[in-house]
Amino acid sequence: MRLYGPRAVKKNVTSFPDQTSLETDTAGQVFKHRLIVLTFLEQTQMPFQPEALSHITPHFARFANTTGTMEITNLITPKSISPTMRVTSKKHALQEIAKRVAESYSLVEREIFEILLAREKLGSTGVGSGIAIPHGKIKDLDRLRGYFARLERPVEFDAVDERPVDLIFLLLAPEEAGADHLKALAKVSRLMRDKNVCKKLRGSDTSEALYALLTDQTSSQAA
């Protein structure tokens, strides 16, 4: 039986008949970001055919009950938010975020940056509508960590809809994180695809206001 590695998975995920949605077979839950599917496939290395989503959903459903215990407040604080980040490109954005994350969590900037670049080579984490959710795993990280940046001006990000990105939610996980990593991705994905939330985020320019919007919305969505 052939097992697809990350690069092959990326090729196949981008050829979904409907690459913006995946429906699980339990609880009627729907996840609308292919990056979650891609991460799941990278971790499980399971057989995959684009035309046969049934190969994925029974396995993915084990991780699908994501919103009950994972909260945005577990991932970010007001200090891990940049309300008006000035960058000129995707690479510059990743560099600047890596720098600020390293400062916020006492991590190594270069290590973060290299992990983010490696992840982007598998496929852009620009998920559309001006949103990017870069993510990766860091050795010896104590727990899941997040960082939110509102860009002063949008930058090209090779996003799935080819729109420039101005809202970035970074997620870092410990190397041993499995289901928790997917739960966090699903939680962030669910939050950031809310058009009303994104409109309010784009209209706010302080860390406190952005944090309040992110966490208030999380509370209202808790399932």
Active site residues: 135
- 126-128 and 165-174 beta bridge pairing: unpaired
Radius of gyration of the CA atoms of the chain, in A: 16
What is the three-class DSSP state of 18? coil
Look at residues 101, 169, 85 and name the one whose alpha carbon lies nearest to residue 131.
169
Q: Which long-range contacts (CB under 8 A, 24 or more apart) does 3-12 make?
A: 3/45, 3/46, 3/47, 4/41, 4/45, 4/46, 4/47, 4/48, 5/45, 6/41, 6/42, 6/122, 7/122, 9/38, 9/41, 9/42, 9/48, 9/122, 10/38, 10/122, 10/123, 12/48, 12/49, 12/50
CB 189 within 8 A of CB 32: yes
Determine the Cα–Cα distance for residues 127 and 71; give it in Å rounded to an integer: 21
